[in-house]
Amino acid sequence: MNAPDKNKFFIKNTAARLGFDYCGIAKAVRLDDDAVRLENWLSKNMNGAMHYMENYFDLRVDPTKLVPGARSVITLLKNYFPSEHQKEASPKISRYAYGKDYHYVIREKLNEFLAVIREEIGEVAGRGFVDSAPVLEKSWAERSGLGWVGKNGTLITKQNGSFFFIATLITDLDIDPDDPFAKDYCGTCTRCIDACPTNAILPGKVIDGSKCISYFTIELKEELIPEEMKGKFEGWMFGCDICQEVCPWNRFSKPHNEPEFTPIPEILDLTTQEWQAMTEETFRKLFKKSALSRSKWKGIQRNLRFISPE
């Protein structure tokens, strides 16, 4: 077994041992096609108030700008599909936010991954990323053979659907790459497009981020949500899972086995009235390490007012 093959075997085994559900490897190259798509998307202001999407353009499309001498991009998937459900009277919260903020959980695993690589192989340059840096992780996942990007913009695996966090390790380690995922299994299905209440999903796998419910309830920091969106959120207080809920491939989703993603009881149980009565101090205490902290107490209260009947 040559070095790239040996490295691949080691990487895949380490990923599984650290609790990742999928691991794929791609050669580190500049993403020229993605650069064109991203530029076009930004030119149409589909990032809305997410101005950070305009920053570090070269870093997003070229992994060697993030890790000089990069040779391989390792993509890791971590299942977050819960076995528990929110009560009917609870304002809807996206499933990814039920437990501890995934940034904490996965970043720790990525740091351990790099430490194990260096312990086993020697001095290796590498950086781990989880949705907090200019990395086009879904493109790398496709190139790594893990799945395809659906019409709703999510990465879909043929075996278990799309309820996965994506993490990326860029390294100068020479690893035998996997074959890219070549087929799109969405076919003629348009369920996600038809179900989106704000028409954020456009033909051609284009997502207008400035119209997405997740954008309004998480990313938008204004005091008021645009009035023309009134009545379109279908009870979603934080994030939105509609396009994933209607996706036929998610009938294959299976509950995760990550203790850190165990739902915070209040997320499952609190009614709209209980959320509205919550003090900022209580919110900070309960959701200190939750993804809900991104919206802060003020944002959650704004969202509640917006989705509540007059």
Pick the catalytic residue: 21, 32, 58, 131?
A: 131
Q: What is the pLDDT of residues 258-294, one digit of tens each?
A: 999 999 999 999 999 999 999 999 999 999 999 999 9
Cα(first)–Cα(last) distance of the chain, in Å?
68
Of the pLDDT bands very low, low, confident and very high (cuts 50, 70, 90), residue 75 is very high
What span, in angstroms and rounded, lies between the C-alpha atoms of 164 and 126? 23
Q: Is 131 a catalytic residue?
A: yes
Global confidence as pTM: 0.93
Angle at 105 between CA 104 and CA 108, to 5 degrees: 80
Question: In the chain, what are the domain boundaries?
Answer: 3-171
Q: What is the pLDDT of residues 157-197, one digit of tens each?
A: 999 999 999 999 999 999 999 999 989 999 999 999 999 99
Q: What is the pLDDT of residues 139-168, one digit of tens each?
A: 999 999 999 999 999 999 999 999 999 999
Tally the residues of the chain.
Answer: 310
Q: What is the pLDDT of residue 1?
A: 54
Q: What is the pLDDT of residues 5-32, one digit of tens each?
A: 899 999 999 999 999 999 999 999 988 7
What span, in angstroms and rounded, lies between the C-alpha atoms of 251 and 245? 9
What span, in angstroms and rounded, lies between the C-alpha atoms of 129 and 143? 17
pLDDT at 60 over 80: no
Per-residue pLDDT, averaged over 303-308, amounts to 96
Q: What is the pLDDT of residue 184?
A: 95
